Amino acid sequence: MRRLRKRVLVTGGAGFVGSHLCERLIAAGDDVLCVDNFYTGSRDNVAHLLSSPQFELLRHDVTHPLYVEVDEIYNLACPASPIHYQRDPVQTTKTSVHGAINMLGLAKRVGAKILQASTSEVYGDPHVHPQPESYRGNVNPIGPRACYDEGKRCAETLFFDYYRQHALRIKVARIFNTYGPRMHPNDGRVVSNFVVQALRNEPITVYGQGSQTRSFCFVDDLVEGLIRLMNSPDEVTGPINLGNPKEFTILELAQQVIALTGSKSEIRHLPLPEDDPLQRQPQIDLARDILGWAPTVALADGLPRTIEYFASLEEVMGAAAL
């Protein structure tokens, strides 16, 4: 029996994660409407999809209403790295909150199922380790990261209020550190920072002693988790953690990047930024049990693919030649 083709809206679809998601949905036979205001996303990320009759690209900011007919919505629109979301913190909060209201209103109007790309940042600097979905977090509501942390927490609130008040079909994924090709080279995230610095043979900047930990999930694994969550039964709302539970110190990551690139970079230690979490590791029991999902790409396998991508960028390697 032939599968019915779905009409899927991906907000933030020209971004790092969104572009990989659009690719997977098209490969599955869906029609994809990719919406992005190109604040951090790029047409280059989806240029290879423009010739597909299943793909449509629309410049739009989700802080304004959108009137389209779709069956599913993946709401990924929001700057996700500190450098980008702190550049215009008021707009970041608006994107999370007004964007959620507009996309939930659209889903309510057309009867669509909607998935919110939330974040591990809702846990703040956690007192519980690893972080289960039941942990309510330790977030500074007035700190420099609050525009993102609290914006995403408010978006989760809105999703569950629409679920309770309007019986909307919702899914909430809490995304932990993700890396891979199409990351922005200047997004300030630790993987992109280290890889770009190593390729340029510049000092690798490690904040503090590098003993703080992160868990790195390759983008292909994350996209698989998002799709499985969207396709799960309606009673599965989340929130569900999606990330790789394998924990690394920041110093270990720096050393791996130097080794894989053959870089001459030295490690430079700088003071820790305010509210920078000391630990970040997902507990993924729910994802394993409910979605049958667990990451399959080890850091040792994903990092070389990420390095290869950055090495292909003229803006990275051109600067190295100067």
Which entry of 85, 148, 162, 179 is annotated as an active-site residue? 148
Active site residue 148: yes
Q: Three-state SS across the chain? A: CCCCCCEEEEECCCCHHHHHHHHHHHHCCCEEEEEECCCCCCHHHHHHHCCCCCEEEEECCCCCCCCCCCCEEEECCCCCCHHHHCCCHHHHHHHHHHHHHHHHHHHHHHCCEEEEEEEHHHHECCCCCCECCCCCCECCCCCCCHHHHHHHHHHHHHHHHHHHHHCCCEEEEEECCEECCCCCCCCCCHHHHHHHHHHCCCCEEEECCCCCEEECEEHHHHHHHHHHHHCCCCCCCCCEEECCCCEEEHHHHHHHHHHHHCCCCCEEEECCCCCCCCCCCECCHHHHHHHCCCCCCCHHHHHHHHHHHHHCCHHHHHHHHC
Residues with a catalytic annotation lie at 148
